[in-house]
Chains A and B, each alone.
Chain A
């Protein structure tokens, strides 16, 4: 495919499209460097709000909770999601496979409000104290399907004869999995983990349904802070959050792209 020359029309639509998507975020990032206390008035460049942010214990506490929730739920989601992906690709057409596939993918398209609400009802029904653990479990539910999608797409292009070769050379199934299968699908698992991690980091809806005392995540904190009035500190916190999420998504994309390219190269 050759690069088409950019026409005026193309450039314009590109600029408008990107502006539509990213101008608000760009504005937020710019204003996080505002020297003025008034959020809407530019008072010169300053990094003071980042300093203030790190001294704001409530915000830092929320950031710490968010990080722990994200790490733990992403880890759980990665294990469960990978197992689901293996089951979906490996066990052929077992009865109820279509149903299972649909059920694994459902949280992807399910309105977050509903996921959040149903989880809340569940936790109340089983009398589970809401807080850190309920958010973690709720995020695991939300993000598992994304891991499954990423890992499954890798497994579909996986050459099964590699596993047969390992077994043929004397490796029992479990050793085959750890010495051949796992190293080869590892990039997609890492990508799935990063995706789950970032999704958990920036989730507000499900977290606010399932939060409890002492478990305020950063998005919840920011949301409630903004309701009381905009503050430049929140801008700074948001900018940092955007940075982390962007980094996560970019590395997830790069990792899975590289592994796909490598597996293609080997196929030839």
Chain B
């Protein structure tokens, strides 16, 4: 039940956080490279990328633990240059949680409020409110060493939220939790963010996590942002091969542009006899240009019977592997060229009369608009 929320699409909207041409170098290596980014108030924003891509450095610059080598970061109307971490209206939930081991749960949560000089009774109220929010009322007097991983995560969240920061930074917030708990917590985080109308910036290397929670995702690689878009756009219209491969599974077929017919691109590849037909009108390409065609596994159809004459985008091969995942079955199909395609099929019915078997000759097809052309 998410409201339609897209301030980034509104040219008049003023961003809350603004990175302008920010660079961070550590000695010889460049962690963040001339990066510009706008994050809007109320957004659940994810920085996604492989380890070492600079996402953590970017977050630490926002928190004030690192100083940009070049460029400016503004929060609201405030230029953050020279503002120490303890004077920024930003709080962070650390990957290690960083709970103070010598303080009880309530003391941990009260720590930030105490620094602000809040009166004692107000601190107590606020701590109580936070404990209720993360459902830890009964554990207020416990020490971090007496808590489970999930409980610690909640304390860390409550502590970071207690001061009602303008922006909450979360560094791999679910990294230390097991799969089941992680999924539950994802939705909880989304609910909390929604209820508090707060801006969340999450750093993660887990694309599933980013896809589930974020309003927008910034995919980073080598200190640069490769694409900023909604999860749906990132998945369905990846800008580069790196994104297509990093977010979700994808089949890449390499080829050369042959030309355009009726607004559809024709791409010649060694994988299929007939040139492939791709409906990706936004791309501007020229004949002979090398391109990569990206097709998600679930958008490919696998069948035993040869498709009728005039069928387009037909690839033939044999079944190399079958993985049954319960909800899905994954087929790995080996083409004559040696390429392996990954095709998934939803197991919509419980019984299939004659299922496709190992080593069988099969046809894999996909619709022209199922594919994306990525310029090489």
Are A171 and B96 neighbours in the complex by a CB distance under 8 Å?
no
With contact pairs A159-B96, A266-B145 given, residues A168 and B85 touching in the complex (Cβ less than 8 Å): yes
Are A180 and B86 neighbours in the complex by a CB distance under 8 Å?
no
Q: Quick check: is B144 within 8 A (CB to CB) of the other chain? A: yes
Tell me the minimal C-beta distance from B59 to chain A in angstroms.
11
Q: Main SS of chain A's interface residues? A: helix
Residues 175-219 of chain A, each 1 if its beta carbon lies under 8 Å from chain B, else 0: 100011001100000000000000000000000000000000000
Are A165 and B92 neighbours in the complex by a CB distance under 8 Å?
yes
Q: Quick check: is A169 within 8 A (CB to CB) of the other chain? A: yes
Are B86 and A184 neighbours in the complex by a CB distance under 8 Å?
no
Are A161 and B111 neighbours in the complex by a CB distance under 8 Å?
no
Residues 77-114 of chain B, each 1 if its beta carbon lies under 8 Å from chain A, else 0: 00000001111001110111011111000000001100
Are A159 and B85 neighbours in the complex by a CB distance under 8 Å?
no
Of the residues B64, B94, B116, contact of A161 by C-beta under 8 Å: B94
A–B pairs, 7, beta carbons within 8 Å? A165-B92, A165-B98, A167-B84, A183-B102, A184-B101, A184-B102, A265-B145
Complex interface residues of chain B between 245 and 284 (CB less than 8 A to chain A): none
Interface size class of B (residues with CB under 8 A): 20 to 34
Of the residues B84, B94, B101, B163, contact of A266 by C-beta under 8 Å: B101
Q: Quick check: is B224 within 8 A (CB to CB) of the other chain? A: no
Chain A contributes a number of interface residues (CB within 8 A of B) equal to 21
Task: Specify which chain A residues have a CB less than 8 angstroms from the CB of B92 in the assembled complex.
Answer: 164-165, 168
Inter-chain residue pair count (beta carbon < 8 A): 67
Residues 215-239 of chain A, each 1 if its beta carbon lies under 8 Å from chain B, else 0: 0000000000000000000000000
Tell me the minimal C-beta distance from A90 to chain B in angstroms.
15
Q: Quick check: is A16 within 8 A (CB to CB) of the other chain? A: no
Residues 50-66 of chain A, each 1 if its beta carbon lies under 8 Å from chain B, else 0: 00000000000000000
Of the residues A159, A169, A175, A265, contact of B91 by C-beta under 8 Å: A169
Q: Quick check: is A262 within 8 A (CB to CB) of the other chain? A: yes
15 further A-B pairs in the complex, CB-CB below 8 A; given A162-B100, A165-B100: A159-B98, A161-B94, A162-B98, A162-B101, A164-B98, A166-B111, A167-B85, A168-B90, A169-B112, A169-B115, A169-B163, A170-B112, A170-B115, A179-B111, A180-B100
Q: Quick check: is A263 within 8 A (CB to CB) of the other chain? A: yes
Q: Quick check: is B205 within 8 A (CB to CB) of the other chain? A: no
Are A263 and B101 neighbours in the complex by a CB distance under 8 Å?
yes
Q: Quick check: is A17 within 8 A (CB to CB) of the other chain? A: no
Q: Quick check: is A172 within 8 A (CB to CB) of the other chain? A: yes
Residues 39-52 of chain A, each 1 if its beta carbon lies under 8 Å from chain B, else 0: 00000000000000
Are A262 and B115 neighbours in the complex by a CB distance under 8 Å?
no
* Most interface-central of B91, B115, B144 (chain A CB within 10 A): B115
